[in-house]
């Protein structure tokens, strides 16, 4: 399966971000803690150039705690400022202004030394669709000012938003890159809902999810769906289908004759997975290759 996505509003969003760079002091790059590399737009480095940057690993409460620690160490090792957040619950959000202030300390100190009263810090929030930008902004602003939704592409324009901690935020639409050269990246993004399901084969996505998760989190399938025997050969598609059929039977995804509706079972599994009902999981490690 080849996944390509570059709607016109994403091209426009890139131009808008580039036009606004001169107005901002720092960029806040929002990633999904469950797939930090796959949710990282490779065009962002070119777009932001040398702007100071704070990497936020959002949805960290849904991610594997041990993998959160590994990803923090990875990004710190790359020389980045990085912070764990869960915008939905508010965990880690209140520390963001202080993190930004640390990044801008040299600039602020120079302004104070010149007798200037530093103005509010201005930050640009960037990230792919459905990574939680608007939810984070609403948390930081203390009110519902940015549109949110459980589907990609909700934010269409740009707006400055005042928050506490002497920080102003600029929200931007999520932008994906033109083509996923590594199809594994496309699958991972699809599992978490960063790509509209309308352009995908939902069964392919669910089967990929099952194959990956059985490797590291197999006991959860046994417990949640009453699967007595987990597959021994994850490369055998028949064994993955058997797991999906067990999920479908457990959730009543049946058609005439008692057969399992695999499409319905796939949608059910992905919904439960995204809602955290199978527990905390991470889809890639810092050493993930493809």
Q: Which residue has the tokens 């806040």?
A: 28
192 labeled part of a ligand binding site: no
258 labeled part of a ligand binding site: no
3-class secondary structure for 31-64?
EECCCCCCCCCCCHHHHHCCCCEEEEEECHHHCC
Separation between Cα atoms, residue 13 and residue 42, nearest integer Å: 15
131 labeled part of a ligand binding site: yes
Torsion sign (Cα): 250, 255, 258, 260: negative
Separation between Cα atoms, residue 284 and residue 38, nearest integer Å: 8
92 labeled part of a ligand binding site: no
133 labeled part of a ligand binding site: yes
Other C-beta atoms closer than 10 Å to the C-beta of 54 total: 20
266 labeled part of a ligand binding site: no
Would you call 206 exposed, middle or buried from its count of C-beta atoms within 10 A (0-12, 13-18, 19+)?
buried
39 labeled part of a ligand binding site: no
114 labeled part of a ligand binding site: no
134 labeled part of a ligand binding site: yes
135 labeled part of a ligand binding site: yes
165 labeled part of a ligand binding site: no
Q: Give the phi and the psi of residue 83 in degrees, each rounded to 5.
A: -150, 135
Separation between Cα atoms, residue 194 and residue 191, nearest integer Å: 8
Contacts of 7 (CB under 8 A, 6+ apart): 153
- Residues contributing to the annotated binding site for GTP: 58-61, 130-135, 174
- Residues contributing to the annotated binding site: 58-61, 130-135, 174
């Amino acid at each position: 399966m080849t996944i390509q996505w570059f709607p016109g509003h994403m091209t426009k969003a890139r131009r808008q971000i580039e036009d606004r760079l001169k107005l901002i002091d720092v960029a806040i790059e929002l990633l999904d803690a469950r797939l930090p590399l796959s949710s990282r737009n490779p065009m962002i480095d070119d777009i932001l150039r040398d702007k100071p940057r704070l990497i936020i690993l959002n949805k960290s409460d849904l991610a594997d705690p041990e993998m959160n620690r590994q990803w923090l160490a990875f990004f710190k090792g790359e020389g980045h400022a990085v912070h764990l957040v869960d915008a939905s619950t508010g965990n880690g959000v209140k520390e963001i202004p202080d993190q930004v202030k640390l990044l801008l300390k040299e600039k602020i100190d120079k302004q104070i030394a010149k007798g200037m009263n530093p103005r509010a810090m201005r930050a640009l929030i960037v990230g792919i669709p459905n990574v939680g930008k608007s939810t984070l902004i609403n948390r930081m602003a203390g009110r519902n000012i940015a549109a949110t939704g459980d589907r990609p592409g909700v934010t269409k324009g740009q707006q400055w938003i005042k928050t506490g901690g002497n920080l102003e935020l600029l929200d931007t639409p999520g932008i994906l890159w033109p083509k996923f050269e590594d199809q594994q990246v496309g699958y991972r993004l699809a599992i978490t809902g960063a790509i509209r399901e309308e352009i995908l084969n939902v069964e392919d996505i669910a089967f990929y999810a099952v194959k990956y998760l059985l490797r590291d989190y197999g006991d959860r399938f046994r417990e949640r769906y009453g699967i007595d025997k987990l597959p021994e050969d994850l490369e055998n598609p028949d064994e993955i289908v058997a797991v999906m059929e067990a999920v479908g039977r457990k959730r009543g995804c049946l058609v005439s004759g008692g057969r399992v509706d695999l499409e319905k079972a796939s949608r059910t599994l992905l919904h439960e997975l995204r809602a955290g009902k199978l527990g905390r999981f991470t889809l890639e490690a810092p050493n993930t290759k493809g």
